[in-house]
């Protein structure tokens, strides 16, 4: 019988998530000296960069570049899709919070 060590599995998943984001350290939730607008703008720019990189990989694959595999293109497209979906979810939550604040009685 094969026993799975859950703590080791979680550690590996976190390491893979950090590698997928291109960082080797754990992301910090509270960055000193940054305001929300800057963090939001940086996140949107990062999603844009991910989408552009995905498009460049797809174009290179279509043009027949031997250094780009189909697996790389598919993974890049999935990363792009997940980043975009996460951005949409954040936007939806922000709009919902704004509407809730605006409907409060003062």
Overall domain count for the chain: 1
Residue at 4 is within a domain: no
- State the residue range of the domain holding 39: 34-106
In this prediction, residue 3 carries a pLDDT of: 56
4: number of Cβ within 10 Å:
6
Distance between CA atoms of residues 83 and 81, nearest Å: 5
CA dist list (Å): 84 to 1, 23, 37: 40, 19, 18
Residue at 42 is within a domain: yes
Global pTM?
0.62
CA dist list (Å): 33 to 1, 22, 36, 40, 83: 51, 23, 10, 14, 25
Residue at 18 is within a domain: no
Residue at 19 is within a domain: no
Residue at 5 is within a domain: no
Distance of CA 79 to the CA centre of its chain: 7
pLDDT at 1 over 50: no
Residue at 28 is within a domain: no
Q: What is the pLDDT of residues 17-51, one digit of tens each?
A: 777 676 545 455 555 556 888 888 888 999 999 99
């Amino acid at each position: 019988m094969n026993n799975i060590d859950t703590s080791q599995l979680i550690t590996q998943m976190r390491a893979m998530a950090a590698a997928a984001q291109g960082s080797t350290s754990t992301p910090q939730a509270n960055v000193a000296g940054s305001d929300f607008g800057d963090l939001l703008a940086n996140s949107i720019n990062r999603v844009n960069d991910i989408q552009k990189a995905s498009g460049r990989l797809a174009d290179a694959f279509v043009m027949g570049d031997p250094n780009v595999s189909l697996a790389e293109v598919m993974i890049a497209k999935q990363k792009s899709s997940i980043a975009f979906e996460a951005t949409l979810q954040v936007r939806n939550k922000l709009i919902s919070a704004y509407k809730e604040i605006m409907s409060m009685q003062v």
